[in-house]
Structure 1
Amino acid sequence: MVEPKKTLPDGTKIYSWNNLDDAFNEVEEVDLTVSDLILFLLWCDKDKPIFGNTRLVKEAFVFWNELTQRGYKVEDPHFFPYRYGPYSKFIMATVEDLYFAGFIVIATAAEKRQYVYMLSKKGVEEAENLVKEKIREEDREYFKRKRRSLDKLKPRKLKEWVYQFDKSLTQGKYISRSEIKDKLDLIPWGKLDD
């Protein structure tokens, strides 16, 4: 096994130039990339956009964990504890890549001063192919219901639910640096409509 030269706080590994080829050979195969994760998340309610960066990242966090729990090997989005709970710069960079590739549309909701994310026509086609090839049929409806349930939550309730979700999975690893964790009433686990 090739030892990284350095490991960043989010888990990203940095290798020396001399060991790079060996490190590439050790990369684990995945079923779903972070791009796939985002396309699937948006596909699960393709006629309804996701409003805001916080909601997008929190819902991606839930989908990443639940897909993993269901046996999918999902590329690590490198979530880390941040001001409002789990955050991933990799998720946001991938969203930008998908935007520039024409798979998603990013608009601004001026009255709410936030970004709005949804699949483009090209993105819907790509996501449909992805779902047919990589997502088991029995999981499709489950994740559609999950997305609709998460979308119904107001921003504060979404954060409360994600915090409780994190506590149950990782003993609060991703909420340790949150500025608001002590101000939230955690929703009892399992109370979200599935």
Structure 2
Amino acid sequence: MKKTIMLVAILFMVVSASQAQTLQSLFDKYGRDERFEYVSVGKGMMNMASAFGGVAKNEKQMMSKMKGIKILTLNENSDSPLMKSVVRELDQIIEKGNFETAVETREKGESVRVYYRVTGNDNAEMLTVTKERGELSIIWIVGKMTKDEMMKTFSSNGVMHQYGIQENQESGNS
């Protein structure tokens, strides 16, 4: 019985790790491609910015829980093979990665989708995908926080309020 439980636990960890690597591999693959703009901000730089940047106390607390932010932007016609390929790849990653939709908006040729997931030991990820005419931006934020902390952090900093989600509202009601 112990062996079975151990095998199930190991399988769960491998599946979780492979899902995280899938999104990481997307950033690794396209982050090196000259057709994309790529920005990566690690924990050290965020800590330095909060120490010297006049950041409010509640924002310092939020930043201390964040492990990193990565941004990938493609400026390309929405009908181009590259754009279609990246969007298809991203959609598969979101579906297979068990991301939950927090926000979805569409207006005049622009769409914004905010996804999140929390996996074991409060490892939280927020993924924002913005599509405009001729541009795709993907923002991936990784941190060590619970779902409630993540939702409160982003709602109190205006990210969720901008899209009409209240702090006390459950994601299922949004």
- Between the two structures, name the one with larger relative contact order (CA 8 Å, sep ≥ 6): 1
Q: Higher strand proportion, which one?
A: 2
Answer yes or no: same fold by TM over 0.5.
no
* TM superposition score normalised by structure 1: 0.27
* TM superposition score normalised by structure 2: 0.29
Q: Higher helix proportion, which one?
A: 1
